[in-house]
Amino acid sequence: MSAVPILAFRQIEKSFGAIRALRGVNFELQAGEVHALLGENGAGKSTLIKVATGAHAPDAGTIEVAGEVVRRIDPLSARKHGIACIYQQPALFPDLTVEENLALRLEPSSSWRRVDWSTRRQRAETLLSRIGAHFGPDREVRTLSMPEQQLVEIACALGAGARIVIMDEPTASLTRQEQERLFSLVRALRAQSVGVIYISHRLEEIFALADRVTVLRDGASIGTHVVTSMSESRLIELMVGREVAHLYPPTEFSGGAIRLDVRELVCKAGGLKKVSFTVKAGEILGLSGLVGAGRTELARTLFGITPADAGEIRVDGQLLSVRNPRVAVAAGIAYVPEDRRRHGVVLEMPVSHNLTLAARRRYFPWGILRPRVEREAAGHFVESLGIKTAGIGAPAGSLSGGNQQKVSLGRWLATEPKILILDEPTQGVDVGAKGELHRIIRRLAAKGLAVILISSDLPEILGMSDRIGVMREGRLVTVLPGGSSAAAVMAAALGKTEEEKSA
């Protein structure tokens, strides 16, 4: 690697009012390097990236590109310097084709310029071939999956001749196979002397891809290390400022009465095929399986979003006809969905409104608003769940991902449920917030809630579940005891026979 960094931040400072987001941050990226940027939510990663792309101007410090000090970076000059950012949610025009989106990014704007359709198409085909895309330039972006849209973003970066590519949580919505394709593409960029800043909460990705790692904490750079010299536990300690020894708290489940009894459940719209299982009071049933196995579809059916076509759902022995979510809530079923920003919290609403939204009839009988009651209820959940917020009047969108997840959880706890369904409850949150959420889930189960925990994070399933249900192709193929091995869970998810498991 070159001795001169392709990008360098020297003592970068940035404040928003009284809040110091960046405190003298130092960071260097070499050409042909994958440099991971780690830190808890609120550590300053997003602010630093916005400084790099010109969205924010630093209050103090210097930025160097290829050894030269850059006095001012705005989005246009960032592009001229070869800086491109690929966000978790691609910023593309859904009603335009891939070719048109590429043209908008790569062609100069002029009202008198003639469009060279042949060159435009050839460039798009070349870029798509370079990144290994299996779709054509005439596809409308709205018809592409999230991973395919990310490929279009990468094609835009390559077409613009980007020398510095920033990837912000790029695998959050990808399947395992799609992740491997992305990893191959990152390695190919590195081989072409492109510098990659890689941001992820998934530590296994850091060890698989990165050459070096810089850790931010409370807006300051804690240190930069060669990845091969670090352990997972040491990185966690640097991020949170303490040792996280109990990421998965021990179970306290000792048996209880059957709270949820599901028999031969069928939902054609959700692809469910005769699913049967039970969950006891105080038990955490983990649901594992590959993407598309039917876990979220099962949750939506139990909650009445896509009602079952056949089968039985019993709560405390009582047979229910869950035709809609209102019936589910009345029966004591609560569902915290996977996409908290779309379905979990209303970002523009204050924390207090979000926390009471699902139980407004309880707090406001006859439709009469009682602000004092709402404030007391919201304050209770902020304290009991450890929600970090400037106040219950702050908009939910101002909170970190982990705290938004706590608000989403608190909303449904306000309904006083008997059964709590959690779909990917720690996805996209930092390791410190993940440990806090795990302790909250354990505490709720200890109080007698029956918990269904859906997660694509296999260590989370193994560490949190009293029993593990494995789904495949819309069926619950097996229920394994807590403490089962990762190999056993994956073998069931992949549909391997006993002979194949032992081979």
pLDDT (tens digit, 9 = 90+) per residue, 100-124?
Answer: 999 888 887 665 667 788 888 999 9
pLDDT at 481: 93
pLDDT at 59: 93
Tell me how far apart the alpha carbons of residues 139 and 254 are, in angstroms, rounded to a whole number. 55
pLDDT at 145: 76
**Confidence category of residue 415, pLDDT binned at 50, 70, 90:** confident
Angle, in degrees to the nearest 10, between helices 117-130 and 146-159: 110
Tell me how far apart the alpha carbons of residues 398 and 292 are, in angstroms, rounded to a whole number. 32
pLDDT at 229: 94
Partners of residue 69 on adjacent β-strands: 64
R_g (Cα) of the chain, nearest Å? 25
pLDDT at 496: 64
pLDDT (tens digit, 9 = 90+) per residue, 288-333?
Answer: 987 678 999 999 999 999 999 999 999 999 999 999 999 999 999 9
Q: Which helix (H) or strand (E) holds 346?
A: none
Q: Comparing 225 with 217, which gets the higher pLDDT?
A: 225
Is pLDDT at 429 greater than 50 in this prediction? Answer: yes
Mean pLDDT of 60-76: 89
pLDDT (tens digit, 9 = 90+) per residue, 122-171?
Answer: 999 998 888 778 888 999 998 887 778 888 888 888 888 889 999 988 87
pLDDT at 499: 44
pLDDT at 322: 95
pLDDT (tens digit, 9 = 90+) per residue, 91-103?
Answer: 889 899 999 999 8
pLDDT at 500: 45
Which domains, from first to last, does the chain contain?
A: 7-240 (3.40.50.300), 246-332+417-503 (3.40.50.300), 348-415 (no CATH)
pLDDT at 243: 55
Tell me how far apart the alpha carbons of residues 164 and 31 are, in angstroms, rounded to a whole number. 8
Is pLDDT at 502 greater than 60 in this prediction? Answer: no
Contacts of 60 (CB under 8 A, 6+ apart): 11, 12, 13
Is pLDDT at 178 greater than 60 in this prediction? Answer: yes
Tell me how far apart the alpha carbons of residues 281 and 31 are, in angstroms, rounded to a whole number. 55
- Assigned token pair, 452: 């269904």
- Burial per residue of 53-86, b for 16 or more beta-carbon CB atoms within 10 angstroms, e otherwise: bbebebeebebbbbeeeeeebeeeebbebbbbbb
Mean pLDDT of 472-494: 89
Is pLDDT at 454 greater than 90 in this prediction? Answer: yes
Is the distance from CB of 356 to CB of 392 less than 8 angstroms? Answer: no
pLDDT (tens digit, 9 = 90+) per residue, 247-302?
Answer: 688 887 878 899 999 999 999 999 999 999 999 999 999 999 876 789 999 999 99
Please report, rounded to a whole number, the percentage of residues in the chain having pLDDT higher than 90: 41
pLDDT (tens digit, 9 = 90+) per residue, 381-392?
Answer: 898 888 888 888
Tell me how far apart the alpha carbons of residues 210 and 35 are, in angstroms, rounded to a whole number. 6
Average pLDDT, the chain: 86
Mean pLDDT of 190-202: 90
Q: Which helix (H) or strand (E) holds 296?
A: helix 295-302
Is the distance from CB of 213 to CB of 36 less than 8 angstroms? Answer: yes
Mean pLDDT of 26-54: 90
Q: Comparing 110 with 365, which gets the higher pLDDT?
A: 365
- First-to-last alpha carbon distance for the chain, in angstroms, is 43
pLDDT at 175: 63
Is pLDDT at 501 greater than 90 in this prediction? Answer: no
Tell me how far apart the alpha carbons of residues 294 and 350 are, in angstroms, rounded to a whole number. 34
**Confidence category of residue 340, pLDDT binned at 50, 70, 90:** low
